[in-house]
Structure 1
Amino acid sequence: MHRPDHLQAAKRSAQSDIARALRRAEFVLQYQPQVSLEDDSLCGMEALIRWQHPVRGLLPPAEFLPLLEQSPLSLDVGWWVLSEAVRQMGEWQAKGLTRVKMSVNLFPLQLRSPGFIEAVADLLTHHGVEPRFLELEITETAALTDGDESLRVINGLRDIGVGIAFDDFGTGYASLGTLQHYPITTLKIDRGFVRDLLTRQRDAAITRALIMLSRDIGVTTIAEGIETIEQELTLKMMGCDCGQGYLFGRSMPASDIAGLLARQPVPAAVARAG
């Protein structure tokens, strides 16, 4: 059985490794396609961090991001992700590739970071990217924590033209009414609801309600974790706008995404075999 002091020491050691990885440029971004359920075109992508560990190989975010959630180090890692994603968008757009929205996840501390709105605006200007092509993803928990300040920052980001997505909505304590108080542009339906969509009536009912309310208030819906054609067709019949998941393609390097952008519109089988 691990003693608390040993656990804290292990956590500090892991965070030190992450800080070192940031200095050594061991982090990379991959991008997962988001596909329109209406016409199979590419409607966006999500930037996802990976750690090219010198010993353990390519690590997914679940292996290290939980250690950062409330750590000051999350500000540095989060800013690197955002900066690299916007830089990459600017590079693609400068090459004349089709422009689609890029989603980037925020850590909770980033929402409360002084000057964050201005820093995002400067970053977009520096790389020549229009704000409407950037969408920042926040969890409902992050939005509801320190609600007034979070709402101020979200409003400020919307004022400069940046989109806001609620990620994992429905898995926490927020109610459907919460959606009406935040100026979000996208609602992401959690993969847990999608996984049991065809077998649990409750999950299907919640998913349908989220889609209907989002449509009524002018918010785009993206369903995460779509793995089967049956899930895709059910969500399409419910009126969901876009989908993301292994059915359409796993996360991929920037070079592969550039190929998709070059031949937009992209069929839904972005990489169905992948």
Structure 2
Amino acid sequence: MIARRTLHDELTRALEAGEFVLHYQPQVALQTGRVIGVEALLRWQHPLRGLLLPGAFLPALEAHPIAPTIGRWIVDEACRQVAAWRDAGLPTIRVAVNLFGAHLQGGGLAGEVMDAIGRHGLPADALEIELTERIALHSEDAALDPIRLLHGEGVAIAFDDFGTGYASLSSLKRFPLTRLKIDRSFVRDVLTDRHDADIIRAILGMAQSFGLDVIAEGIETPEQESILRAMGCREGQGYLYGKAMPPQALADLVARDCLIMPGLSAA
């Protein structure tokens, strides 16, 4: 209990001190290899322990009263960064942000997201909200109204880790989705496990029937990319294309990708 309370106090201090940062993992079109989007991932620049990955603090943060505040900051910072990249000469790429359950339950999500998009001069489809199955399981239908409003405004809505739990199929009816993310656990053994390959084919077929886009997570080898492309998957994310990286490194990657001068500012 003491350790948990100490971590909670540290999270509050970290928010006040501006120690949270976003790193960005590229998402690519499998046919061309071009970066078409990024996923914004939270990191904690701890003054003593260095850069901390979410596993070290995210469970505590999700249960902390400051979770909605952090969620608002993530949305605003991601939009600000995409606008900064655009002002530096890069194309407007899609940025995906992960949603805290507490942020959704707060009731003001739709207005906060649209305010951030408008404040930074972005088109609505430059932002994608990612929902996990746990959020889907614990959300009443009324709590989904902000998601429906955002979808109606053109914000993309993705279902993360699709296929890993029993709520996934029912969620296709409840949520106004635009994209499914194939979980890395299926991609990892797609070359050696027939069942994983069949599950991926089923997800792709289901997405096509629902008119949804699909992105595969956890692609680490050219062979995985090749078989996914042959199956009809159009987008991918994983270490083959890059780990989550600071904004300037991502800007340099996209600059090379677009054959324009590198060294763009990511301020």
Q: Same fold (TM over 0.5)?
A: yes
SS of 1:89's equivalent in the other structure is helix
**Counterpart check, 1:184 vs 2:177:** yes
Number of equivalent positions: 259
**Counterpart check, 1:85 vs 2:78:** yes
SS of 1:72's equivalent in the other structure is coil
Distance in 2, Cα, partners of 1:91 & 1:181: 35
Task: Give 1:99's match in structure 2, choosing from 73, 82, 92.
Answer: 92
Q: Among the aligned pairs, what percent are the same residue?
A: 49
Moved more, 250-259 or 194-203: 194-203
TM-score, normalised to structure 1, is 0.89
**1:220 equivalent in structure 2:** 213
SS of 1:226's equivalent in the other structure is coil
SS of 2:25's equivalent in the other structure is strand
1:31-70 aligned at under 5 Å gives the runs 31-70=24-63
Partner letter of residue 185 of structure 1? T
Asked if the contact 1:98–1:264 (Cα under 8 Å) also holds between the matched residues in 2, the reply is no
Asked if the contact 1:176–1:210 (Cα under 8 Å) also holds between the matched residues in 2, the reply is no
Partner letter of residue 212 of structure 1? G
Asked if the contact 1:214–1:220 (Cα under 8 Å) also holds between the matched residues in 2, the reply is yes
Unaligned runs of 5+ residues in structure 1 are: 1-7, 267-274
Distance in 2, Cα, partners of 1:156 & 1:168: 23
Partner letter of residue 247 of structure 1? L
TM-aligned CA deviation for residue 58 of structure 1 = 0.9
Partner letter of residue 260 of structure 1? L
**Counterpart check, 1:259 vs 2:259:** no
Distance in 2, Cα, partners of 1:34 & 1:212: 21
**2:226 equivalent in structure 1:** 233
Asked if the contact 1:208–1:238 (Cα under 8 Å) also holds between the matched residues in 2, the reply is yes
TM-aligned CA deviation for residue 175 of structure 1 = 4.0
TM-aligned CA deviation for residue 257 of structure 1 = 1.6
TM-aligned CA deviation for residue 20 of structure 1 = 0.7
**2:263 equivalent in structure 1:** none
TM-aligned CA deviation for residue 32 of structure 1 = 0.5
Moved more, 171-180 or 19-28: 171-180
**Counterpart check, 1:163 vs 2:159:** no
TM-aligned CA deviation for residue 151 of structure 1 = 2.7
Distance in 2, Cα, partners of 1:137 & 1:148: 17
RMSD: 1.6
**Counterpart check, 1:134 vs 2:127:** yes
Asked if the contact 2:162–2:168 (Cα under 8 Å) also holds between the matched residues in 1, the reply is no
